[in-house]
Amino acid sequence: MKIIDGKKIANDIKEEIAQEVAAIREAGGKIPHLAAIIVGHDGASETYVGHKEKACNQVGFNSTVFRFEDDVAEDTLLRRVHDLNEDPEIDGFIVQLPMPKHISEQKIIEAIDPKKDVDGFHPINLGRMVIGLPAYISATPAGIMELIKRYNIETLGKDVVVIGRSNIVGKPMSILLGQKANPGNATVTMCHSRTKNLKEVVLRADIVVAALGRAEFLTADMVKEGATVIDVGITRVKSDKTKSGWKLLGDVKFDEVAEKAEYITPVPGGVGPMTIVSLLQNTLKASKGEIYPK
Ligand code: NAD
């Protein structure tokens, strides 16, 4: 069994980005600038935005966070999105989800200029990805593809099972692994809460991507010997063994599945760090006009 060390790969990529930013600075070019909009005081959202800010600092990007209270009007947010779309200093921005109930997340996402949509949530970016055009790919699937690439995990002709069909993880992941590309060219089955005989389906998989958000759902009896297991899930559970009083659990029962898997990602330290790095990579691409020429 080999552990896929997402933390190490993420640090290597951050180092590569930092060197590129240093060279841009040296040449007097524009420093990439990522902005984030956050609404309310949800603990997990605050943590994610904090991690993203820290990562920007580490690689030398500029970053700005726009904070709004829970009762902010949708129009106010739409105006901020519009201003960021128009601001030449900002290369890309994200809107941290979830939003409060009175805000239409879809309306906000569709208001983002696809050229600055570094989270890859806009239908134009999703659509472009589906037909194989250059696009911002949402950070978690992009990070998983990078891990597969850097660990030289063969996907061609393999049976892949993705558990979860969300727009930000399960669906894009299924499409990317089935695409005519390397990594890709796999035979993909996308499972969800209505899938029948999930265990039988997963047992056939050479590669399993667990993205359903149920702590320790995937047990050893569901996994084929020698499979690659990618654990996307993050569930915060109370713990009296940590200083914070919380610990993070993945969707995979790590200890027992690790004994059967050839490759496995841990939680934390697997997919999570890669998600943030993909956002940095997308921001760098935005600042260089790599996806949509400036
Ligand atoms: P989501 O809640 O939008 O989607 C969950 C999906 O799982 C749904 O499509 C549902 O049909 C499916 N599902 C639920 N129960 C199931 C069951 N019993 N059997 C089969 N399928 C089932 O979740 P999401 O946004 O895709 O996130 C999934 C998990 O990944 C969450 O734990 C989330 O916190 C985590 N996540 C982690 C990162 C990261 O950076 N590591 C990024 C995004 C999401």
Give the mean pLDDT of 22-40: 98
Q: Hey, what amino acid is at 176?
A: L
Query: What's the pLDDT at 207?
Result: 99
Give the tens place of pLDDT for each residue, 222-248: 999 999 999 999 999 999 999 989 999
Torsion, Cα of 51, 52, 58, 64 (10° steps): -120
Q: How far is the CA of 148 from the centre of ligand 1 (A)?
A: 20
Is 119 one of the catalytic residues?
yes
* Ligand 1 neighbours by CB, cut-off 6 Å: 140, 163-166, 168-170, 191-193, 195, 198, 211-214, 232-235, 271-272, 275
Q: What percent of the chain has pLDDT over 90?
A: 97
Give the tens place of pLDDT for each residue, 88-142: 999 999 999 999 999 999 999 999 999 999 999 999 999 999 999 999 999 999 9
Catalytic residue among 91, 96, 251, 281: 96
Query: What's the pLDDT at 181?
Result: 96
Instruction: Identify the structural domains of the chain with CATH numbers, from first to last.
Output: 26-113 (3.40.50.10860), 139-273 (3.40.50.720)
Q: Which atom of ligand 1 is nearest to the CA of 271?
A: 41
Give the tens place of pLDDT for each residue, 159-212: 999 999 999 999 999 999 999 999 999 999 999 999 999 999 999 999 999 999
Query: What's the pLDDT at 248?
Result: 93
Predicted TM-score (pTM) of the model is 0.96
Query: What's the pLDDT at 29?
Result: 97
Residue whose CA is at the smallest distance from ligand 1 atom 24: 166
Residue whose CA is at the smallest distance from ligand 1 atom 18: 193
pLDDT-derived band at 146, boundaries 50, 70, 90: very high
pLDDT-derived band at 157, boundaries 50, 70, 90: very high
pLDDT-derived band at 290, boundaries 50, 70, 90: very high
* pLDDT greater than 90 at residue 156: yes
Ligand 1 binding pocket mutation candidate from 193, 216, 217, 279 (most atoms within 8 A of CB)? 193
- Say how far apart CA 252 and CA 231 lie, in whole Å: 6
Query: What's the pLDDT at 177?
Result: 98
Query: What's the pLDDT at 44?
Result: 86
Q: How far is the CA of 7 from the centre of ligand 1 (A)?
A: 21
Ligand 1 binding pocket mutation candidate from 173, 232, 280 (most atoms within 8 A of CB)? 232
Residue whose CA is at the smallest distance from ligand 1 atom 8: 164
Catalytic residue among 52, 116, 158, 285: 52
